[in-house]
Structure 1
Amino acid sequence: MTVTEHKSQDQQAQALHILETVFGYSSFRGQQADIVHHVVQGGDALVLMPTGGGKSLCYQIPALVRDGLGVVVSPLIALMQDQVDALAEVGVRAAFLNSTQTFDESMQIERRVRSGDIDVLYVAPERLMTPRCLELLQAARISLFAIDEAHCVSQWGHDFRPEYIKLSVLHERFPDVPRIALTATADQQTREEIIHRLQLEQARQFVSSFDRPNIRYQIVEKANGRKQLLDFIESEHADDAGIVYCLSRKKVEEIADFLNQNGLNALPYHAGMEYAKRTANQARFLREEKIVMVATIAFGMGIDKPDVRFVAHLDLPKSIEGYYQETGRAGRDGAPANAWMAYGLQDVVQQRRMIAESEADDTFKRVLGTKLDAMLGLCETLHCRRMRLLEYFGEQAKPCGNCDICMTPPVSFDATVMVQKLLSAVYRVEQRFAPGHVVEVLRGIDSDKIKQWRHDQLSVFGIGSDRSEAEWRAILRQTIALGLLTVDHESYSALKLTDEARPVLRGEQKVQLRQYQKPVKQKRSSSRSGYVETDLSAAEQVLFEKLRWWRMETARKHNVPAYVIFHDSTMREIAKANPGSLDDLRGVTGVGEKKLETYGAEIIALMAELSG
């Protein structure tokens, strides 16, 4: 064996030892071992791994194996304290530098960096780019740079941060320090931009499956969105933590008030709130149980709360990347979770208007339009949603059996004649009127506006009177999603025919649509039991509940989120093992040496008390 091979073997053994003794896991998952080994040996890497897949270990363990300081570039200032606390709980010397600290606090961290007293340092990109910070890092021994949420570098992505573009300076100033860029979501175009912007052309790419099989995807016709949301939460998640996403700050406040008035514990979160209030609400969501956070997309990136049981959307996301990342905040612990969305025609019109009115150039608007079209395709698909979602990221899949379409297949029908009627009506009103007016013409509604424009004299007036307004809106929405109609916001949201509409109007092309289903109130799900600890016996369930109570009290004393102490999955294992000694507890997944030392005696005493 050569010296290089021997060193490599030692590093692999050291990485596994850290995984077991520090983090409490007996083996790596998926591609983690290959990523860790590659970075430990000094290689650059681009890592695409779904939320909850264990990305953080891919840079934390190499930072501990390699000599020096691991620097993590993260945009998540509000969460750095929790990330540092979580590492401290397992015995890792971690710290952060960002704008929330006083000058004296920053100076203290800088002194520790210079003296080699820190293993992992979290830095906001704005701070990293300052001459002072770059000089500090050049004076230290750096083991690696981890660029978290790397999709923020992409101008085509859903969460662009201008300061991320400057991170190419890391390769220029520290050419011998390995860099690992990580993200949970990036289509091919975004990946290419990450590689180009961060100068990672020579980096090895690790792309894990994007599938999150524990998440059930469900998209419903929007009738009364807030009422449908309440029915969903009450029937499926009455005692669970969850996130509700809304497009506007005003709607966030209104929905949070509505849920509170109906007996739920809901908190608002958006960029227009006072910083202190926003931060306090986020802290409560992380530290307490059974809280529903109602938020704009300003909330959620980097949220490490493992027991979020649902993510709901009351407005259509701008892209599949955004939808995937937001829904991925549910079920990080691998237990069943729901991704639910209420979606209607107004969502399509609103998103088209936002693109049209944005200050972006035409190229960027076309990209936004393409991404929205893909999102509409996911909403209107007649086939498995998970297949459609994974195909967007270049991954082939089979029907999942765990989305609304697989579980209750929609009825499709030959809608060619109905679509021809719709397209004809748009044409006859000279492509100058919004969806609501066109639907009134089709249904033969004798309104003042119809009379004013003499549209009651048109040949298409009333040709769709056999269908309800809701049915026509569903047909209209699907027709827009198919690209046969578009919404022109320069003409007051007027519907216009596209070139693709011509063969349909001429009868040369048939159109299959989903049959409209009247929204019904959700009944309490029989699968609700899937969200409780069904794999525990009655005696084990008692132990588990007692452990949860102990964890809540301990987390309160330490002023950290409960999951920083132990995840539910670890406590389930403890309840099953019912350890009688520290040695019995040592083998439980998620219990490393530091946590064993800190909490072991308390847990053993608790087990003895309950078993006795």
Structure 2
Amino acid sequence: MSLFPASEPDPAAHERAQDLLRDVFGYAQFRGQQQAIIEHVIDGGDALVLMPTGGGKSLCYQIPALVRPGVGIVVSPLIALMKDQVDALRQAGVRAAYLNSSLSPGEARQIEEDMRSGALDLVYVAPERLVMPYFLDLLERLRIALFAIDEAHCVSQWGHNFRPEYRALTILHERFPTVPRIALTATADGPTRKDIVERLQLDEARVFVSGFDRPNIAYRVVEKKDARNQLLHFLRTEHPDDAGIVYCLSRRKVDEVADFLSQHGRLALPYHAGLDAETRQRHQDRFLKDEGVVVVATVAFGMGIDKPNVRFVAHLDVPRSLEAYYQETGRAGRDGLPATAWMTYGLADVISCKQMVQGSELDDRQKRVELQKLDALLGYCETATCRRQVLLNYFSDNSLTGPCGNCDICLNPVKRWDGTIAAQKALSAVYRTGQRFGVQHLVDVLTGKETEKILERGHHLLKTFGVGREIGRNAWQAIFRQLVAGGYLAVDVEGHGGLLFGPKAAAVVKGEDTVEFREHREEKAPRRATGGRRGGTAHELEGSDARLFEALRHWRLELSREQGVPPYVILHDATLVALSVERPADMTALAAIPGVGRSKLDRYGQAILEIVANG
């Protein structure tokens, strides 16, 4: 049976955790629920941790693994994530290693021998290897400090990255009942959380929900018109030199967008499953180790990326759910500095996604769940209220009691208008054309455009032909999107994507219900956020502070190339910003800078002080 808790609280062990936070990781105090989680696991309790990306999940198992006797075993789904974590731990002076398919048999045997001899504090391992009989036998001969199951949503069929091999992890509870387990994820709605608990047998685990808010991320959604040029304008005006990720649904579009950006002066690299493994690895390495690289990718990219200074995530196509959107946008701004989540979308995207779900091999129940999730995403896109509140409410996080001040709706509030008559006209056009046509044709009918298609079908003879000439095409398209989002119209996902009456249509047609629409408007350049929600960034440094930041960044880049690790493994951008502003003059002052632990102080302290002294 699970031990919850396994022992009485140990004040000395808790104090040791504080020392490790300061001396090894370079931080003066824990954030949020970190301390409560760490002390609970140190005392032997199981835990399910839901914490936003960049919230410090890794420390929640790394510190207990260093405090508790034995080796900590971390289940991680991706090779890149393991390598980054281990590189960062070794920089901090922690004895860490990983076991995955990138190692030769000899290298793997050496790590297993180091585990037997007690030479390692933390070992990262893929789930497939963990459940192999020979590896389980090895673990039974060791003293295990804890099991950490990272990206725990992968165990759930309702999660957005389901991995069947995660289901086998129930064996940890069966074979190691006295070893505490901590499952961690940044994204899980109610059904996914329930599934995680059941699948991993964490019934007696304490659940820690730290909230889903990422206040440093500015959320923006724009109407799709010319997506590639809209993206280019966004990058040129807001992120001219920054690293970021652009998501597209298809491989062909990934290639086209990467080529387009490259032709317009950006270092943009494609990433999708159609590329050979060597090319994908090379592009990922450049993204991690160089500055200012843009990766254009399908959702196959990013889950194992720990790069903290991704300054934007852009979606040129809508993701399939708010969980996927939150997870993907969460790859921006992991260092806590300002970042942007920017998305273009149109109703055609949603129709395409719904048709993909309907044509999939999912059973009927799963299809219903996926279609409901798409509807929730559409509601987020069409909201006239604070986007962050809509996003957090979806995850049952009610911590934000007022507008966030850092999304497009808050910065440029949207007006609403009584659209009942316009809705009746739109619904009439849908009904009179037989509930089988898409938005473009319906808008042509309403605006009185005599296209070949309309003339062939006699739709120019309908009473609704031309009754909406006073409203522009873009505004009509926005009206149809909002009617779908509101449940007045539905998409014929089994046909060609035409619009049908939804459950709320009849009441509007009969005049029994009214409809409000958000005002259609052209995209505006964002105003700056207020209320201190964005924090400082390198782009806000001026004069000598900016020059010092660039000098430190150049030194870090050269050092990272010498060591063959990403620059952020040595020091995060947030640490470089603090160094540029605080300008420590000695080792004592340098040790007080967040992110500079004892190991980094010993290895890099003198070099940093010399750069700071030279300004």
**8 A Cα contact 1:348 1:477, kept in partner:** no
Q: Deviations over 1:326-385 (max 9, x none)?
A: 111111111111111111121121111111111111100110011111111110011111
Q: Deviations over 1:60-103 (max 9, x none)?
A: 00000001110110111233222111111011111111122221
2:207 aligned counterpart, secondary structure: strand
Question: How far did residue 19 of structure 1 move?
Answer: 0.9
> In percent, how many aligned pairs have the same letter?
56
Question: How far did residue 542 of structure 1 move?
Answer: 3.1
Match of 1:570 in 2: 575
Question: Does 2:453 correspond to 1:449?
Answer: yes
Match of 1:358 in 2: 360
Question: Does 2:526 correspond to 1:544?
Answer: no
Match of 1:106 in 2: 108
- Give the residue type in structure 1 aligned to 2:96: A
Match of 2:444 in 1: 440
Question: How far did residue 222 of structure 1 move?
Answer: 0.8
The 10-residue stretch of structure 1 (76-85 or 552-561) with the greater mean CA deviation from structure 2: 76-85
Match of 2:50 in 1: 48
Aligned 1:161-310 pairs, distance under 5 A: 161-310=163-312
**Hey, what's the Cα distance between the residues in 2 that align with 1:11 and 1:235?**
50
2:397 aligned counterpart, secondary structure: coil
Q: Deviations over 1:488-534 (max 9, x none)?
A: 132222211122211111111101011221346x499899x987547
1:490 aligned counterpart, secondary structure: coil
- Give the residue type in structure 2 aligned to 1:235: T
Q: 1:353 to 1:238 in 2, by over 3 A?
A: same
Match of 1:581 in 2: 586
Question: How far did residue 571 of structure 1 move?
Answer: 2.1
2:193 aligned counterpart, secondary structure: helix
**Hey, what's the Cα distance between the residues in 2 that align with 1:219 and 1:107?**
50
**Hey, what's the Cα distance between the residues in 1 that align with 2:438 and 2:349?**
14
- Give the residue type in structure 1 aligned to 2:562: K
**Hey, what's the Cα distance between the residues in 1 that align with 2:611 and 2:216?**
32
Q: 1:260 to 1:136 in 2, by over 3 A?
A: same
**8 A Cα contact 2:151 2:186, kept in partner:** yes
* RMSD across aligned positions (CA): 2.0
Match of 1:496 in 2: 500
Match of 2:3 in 1: none
1:491 aligned counterpart, secondary structure: coil
The 10-residue stretch of structure 1 (580-589 or 64-73) with the greater mean CA deviation from structure 2: 580-589
2:208 aligned counterpart, secondary structure: strand
The 10-residue stretch of structure 1 (569-578 or 479-488) with the greater mean CA deviation from structure 2: 569-578
**8 A Cα contact 1:414 1:511, kept in partner:** yes
Match of 1:144 in 2: 146
The 10-residue stretch of structure 1 (541-550 or 309-318) with the greater mean CA deviation from structure 2: 541-550
Question: Does 2:483 correspond to 1:472?
Answer: no
Question: Does 2:514 correspond to 1:510?
Answer: yes
**Hey, what's the Cα distance between the residues in 1 that align with 2:512 and 2:526?**
43
**Hey, what's the Cα distance between the residues in 2 that align with 1:465 and 1:537?**
52
The structure 2 residue matched to 1:554, chosen from 559, 568, 571, is: 559
**Hey, what's the Cα distance between the residues in 2 that align with 1:583 and 1:236?**
37
1:114 aligned counterpart, secondary structure: helix
**8 A Cα contact 1:235 1:523, kept in partner:** no
Aligned 1:592-607 pairs, distance under 5 A: 592-607=597-612
Q: 1:579 to 1:443 in 2, by over 3 A?
A: closer
**Hey, what's the Cα distance between the residues in 2 that align with 1:141 and 1:272?**
43
**Hey, what's the Cα distance between the residues in 1 that align with 2:553 and 2:29?**
26
Match of 2:344 in 1: 342
Q: Deviations over 1:92-146 (max 9, x none)?
A: 1111111222212211111111222111111111111222222221222111000
- Give the residue type in structure 2 aligned to 1:22: V
**Hey, what's the Cα distance between the residues in 2 that align with 1:454 and 1:207?**
58
1:507 aligned counterpart, secondary structure: coil
1:486 aligned counterpart, secondary structure: strand
**8 A Cα contact 1:236 1:525, kept in partner:** no
Q: Deviations over 1:224-265 (max 9, x none)?
A: 111111111101110111111111111111111111111111
Question: How far did residue 582 of structure 1 move?
Answer: 2.7
Match of 1:462 in 2: 466
**8 A Cα contact 2:537 2:577, kept in partner:** no
- Give the residue type in structure 2 aligned to 1:475: I
- Give the residue type in structure 2 aligned to 1:426: V
**Hey, what's the Cα distance between the residues in 1 that align with 2:549 and 2:92?**
22
**Hey, what's the Cα distance between the residues in 2 that align with 1:441 and 1:29?**
57
Q: 1:37 to 1:549 in 2, by over 3 A?
A: same
The 10-residue stretch of structure 1 (580-589 or 592-601) with the greater mean CA deviation from structure 2: 580-589
- Give the residue type in structure 2 aligned to 1:437: H
The 10-residue stretch of structure 1 (204-213 or 595-604) with the greater mean CA deviation from structure 2: 595-604
Aligned 1:323-472 pairs, distance under 5 A: 323-396=325-398, 397=400, 398-472=402-476
**Unaligned 5+ runs, structure 1:** none
1:598 aligned counterpart, secondary structure: helix
Question: How far did residue 7 of structure 1 move?
Answer: 6.6
Q: 1:509 to 1:110 in 2, by over 3 A?
A: same
**8 A Cα contact 1:422 1:442, kept in partner:** yes
**8 A Cα contact 1:218 1:404, kept in partner:** yes
1:146 aligned counterpart, secondary structure: strand
2:220 aligned counterpart, secondary structure: strand
1:259 aligned counterpart, secondary structure: helix
- Give the residue type in structure 2 aligned to 1:496: L
Question: How far did residue 302 of structure 1 move?
Answer: 3.4
**8 A Cα contact 2:187 2:323, kept in partner:** yes
> TM-score, structure 1 length as denominator?
0.95
Match of 1:130 in 2: 132
**8 A Cα contact 2:488 2:504, kept in partner:** yes
**Hey, what's the Cα distance between the residues in 2 that align with 1:433 and 1:44?**
54
Q: 1:487 to 1:555 in 2, by over 3 A?
A: same
The 10-residue stretch of structure 1 (599-608 or 26-35) with the greater mean CA deviation from structure 2: 599-608
1:377 aligned counterpart, secondary structure: helix
The 10-residue stretch of structure 1 (433-442 or 292-301) with the greater mean CA deviation from structure 2: 433-442
Q: 1:175 to 1:225 in 2, by over 3 A?
A: same
Question: How far did residue 432 of structure 1 move?
Answer: 2.3
**8 A Cα contact 1:585 1:591, kept in partner:** yes
Q: Deviations over 1:150-202 (max 9, x none)?
A: 11111111111111111111101111110000001111111111101100010
**Unaligned 5+ runs, structure 2:** 1-5
Q: 1:7 to 1:468 in 2, by over 3 A?
A: closer
**Hey, what's the Cα distance between the residues in 2 that align with 1:533 and 1:92?**
29
How many correspondences in the alignment?
605
**8 A Cα contact 2:318 2:349, kept in partner:** yes
1:308 aligned counterpart, secondary structure: coil
**8 A Cα contact 2:216 2:535, kept in partner:** no
Q: 1:474 to 1:189 in 2, by over 3 A?
A: same
**8 A Cα contact 1:484 1:499, kept in partner:** yes
**Hey, what's the Cα distance between the residues in 2 that align with 1:323 and 1:499?**
27
The structure 2 residue matched to 1:482, chosen from 468, 482, 486, is: 486
